[in-house]
Structure 1
Amino acid sequence: MINYLASKVALSFGCLALLMGCDGGKSQLDNPSRGTITVAADESFLPLVTQLTSAYAGIYPNVHFNVVFKPEQEAINMMLKDSARLVFATRKLTANERLALDNLKIKGAAIKIATDGVALIVNKANTDSLITMNELRDIFSGRTKQWAQLKGSNQKNPITLVFDNNNSSNLDFVLDTLKVSSVKDLRIFTTKSNREVIDFVRKNPSALGFIGVNWISDSDEPLSVDLARDLRVVGVSNKTNPTGRSDYFQPFQEDLGMQRYPLRRPVYILSRESHPGLGGGLINYITRDAGSLIVRKLGLWPAMQYNREVNLTK
């Protein structure tokens, strides 16, 4: 009788364990310190996203991020189709995109984590490293086609505009900022990545490249320093008639934070997480002290400032 009861108890515990392990997958949900999720991002944020996810995974050995880099709209579509938990993007969801989540009864979130900038780069042989927003509008309207039409340039060839992708956030942002509706008559060349834009500009003095500034703004990262070699980062002015170099600003930290650089843009994390999971853990990490230090190290302006307190003793 005792052996029979023991076997019944053992069987009951076995069934309970099996049920707990198969309870609709609930016991297998990820949490801030364990699990695997997919994160999608526009390729212009590759250095930023790579450093943030790697740093977080370095703290929690049971965490893994499948990071996928796509043009921004494709990355957002991945999240809407539940192929990605988080998206690093330059915008919030549109009303129609928001409705797609509402229909699934998913609250979602859009959290600003930084201010970024689209950097304009030219070959080191090109002496023209200053441009106004009006001159940019003239280039994208087709009124200005030659470098010789811009003051300060030593180049005589046509201006070649270089972007990373036909559907990239860099291109969309510049076109939207300059109110350009069509590029069919422009001399535009697209590559497959921000790195390829850098390589193209390095080899072509007539090129004007557009990249996410985090690719070249981390002075402590050897790759970033190497990529910035043989390039000039163009200073941009909002003024119609600048009177000196002080009227031009570059897409680096102070000018981004003080909102002086004209081609600055926000960086958001879009989330569809419906439970306190790994996505929320990464967001909390990024928006608090440690994550904001990484954003700052990359030369961007963190949305949440990390204030250091120094105690001086005699």
Structure 2
Amino acid sequence: MTKFRIWWAVLITGLFVSCDNGKPKLDNPSRGTIVIAADESFKPLVTQLTSAYSGIYPDAHFKIVYRPEKEAINLMLQDSARVAFTTRTLTKGEQAVLDKSKIVGSATKLATDGVALIINRTNTDSLITMSELKNIFSGKIKNWSQLPGGSQSNPITLVFDNNNSSNLEFVLNTFGITDVNNLRIFTTKSNREVIDFVRDNPSALGFIGVNWISDGDEPLTGELSKDLRVMGVSPKDNPTGRADYFQPFQEDLGMQRYPLRRPVYALSREAHPGLAGGLVNYVIRDAGSLIIYKLGLWPSVPYNREVNLRK
């Protein structure tokens, strides 16, 4: 009898395996493992969103790969990642890669982010206009003393996290700059290294994703912000006062006053109702927007709060 039961169990197991054709089960919104690619400037955002989701669904696992934006998108296109967190949607050429594989794909705007301009605490020139920034990137302004109110005479060193980062690409596209060979640009390996470099170099002007320093409840934010200033940026050529300058924090991002704001997208190649869709829905339809608020960014879909008033 015991041998019969063992034989029967083996037979049933074989039937289930044959029915599945040996293929692994697809992930679903609450279970599975997927790879996410993201530009390193979004690391605090991606880390908190995925950690919160895994806290709700312990069987949901995310392998996060941080790469410059173009590389992150390519990983998604090559099916080496299910989702890419980016500042833009796909180009026609990139979409053609998905079309060739008959994958529709999706692009969901999650939030509004900003590129923060940071300077050393000893540099008291904390206000700049968009036209002055353009002149810096076009090579017309090379020295801090050329800026109104410049407090030092050193050359301006522009500091970015990577040669192909979304921060650099965004700024160059904003000002229509195609040649950087004559600019004093220094690149590190991460947004955190940009912060460290600016802290140690009074003549540096750093560019980072604002979510690295905008979470007031995170101890790391206080640590990273130490001995730094965040510059106020004015869209006006001739601002008349401090009120014409804006910083890349929540209200000025949401009210679209900060000129170096940018969207955050989740680009997905998912072809079934899976874990990627579950994460994106959590961000735009559930409490994920509260995490975006906490990080100091502006969510695309505000979290709805119901308040019952009683007499």
The TM-score bracket by the shorter chain reads over 0.9
Whichever residue aligns with residue 295 of structure 1, its letter is I
Query: 1:15 and 2:14 equivalent?
Result: yes
Distance (whole Å) between structure 1 residues aligned to residue 231 and residue 9 of structure 2 = 73
Matched, 1:151 2:160: no
1:311 and 2:308 correspond: yes
- Measured in 1, the distance between the counterparts of 2:31 and 2:300 equals 26
Moved over 4 A (4+): 2-12
Deviations 1:35-72 (A, max 9, x none): 10000000000000000001001111111100010000
2:258 aligns with 261
Please state if 1:51 is matched with 2:41: no
Distance in 2 between residues matched to 1:209 and 1:9, nearest whole Å:
68
Taking a change above 3 Å as real, the CA distance of residues 206 and 11 of structure 1, as seen in their structure-2 partners, is closer
Pick one of 197, 221, 226 that aligns with 1:224: 221
Length-normalised TM-score, structure 2: 0.96
Question: What SS does structure 2 have at the residue aligned with 1:308?
Answer: coil
Counterparts of 2:51 and 2:309, CA distance in 1: 34
Q: Following the alignment from structure 2 to structure 1, what is the Cα–Cα distance between the partners of residues 166 and 3? A: 68
Q: Once the 2 structures are TM-superposed, how far is the Cα of residue 151 of structure 1 from its aligned partner?
A: 1.2
Q: CA deviation at 1:303?
A: 0.3
Structure 1 residues 146-186: Cα deviation after superposition (integer angstroms, max 9, x where no partner): 10011112111000000000000000000000111111000
Q: Quote the Cα distance in structure 2 between the aligned partners of 1:33 and 1:138.
A: 50
Alignment partner of 1:112 out of 93, 109, 112: 109
TM-fit CA distance, 1:15: 2.7
Aligned AA (2:12) = F
How far residue 4 of structure 1 moved from its aligned partner, in angstroms, is: 11
Gaps of 5+ in 2: none
Structure 1 residues 1-314: aligned runs within 5 Å: 12-20=11-19, 22-25=20-23, 28-314=25-311
- Gaps in structure 1 of 5+ consecutive residues: none
Letter aligned with residue 57 of structure 1: S
3-state SS, counterpart of residue 55 of structure 1: helix
Change (3 A) 1:299 1:7: closer
Percent pairwise identity? 69
CA displacement at 1:311 relative to structure 2: 2.3
Q: CA deviation at 1:16?
A: 1.3
C-alpha change, 1:8 and 1:94, in structure 2 (3 Å) is same
Residue type of the alignment partner of 1:13: I
The SS at the match of 1:105 is: coil
TM-score by length of 1: 0.95
The amino acid that maps onto 1:167 is N
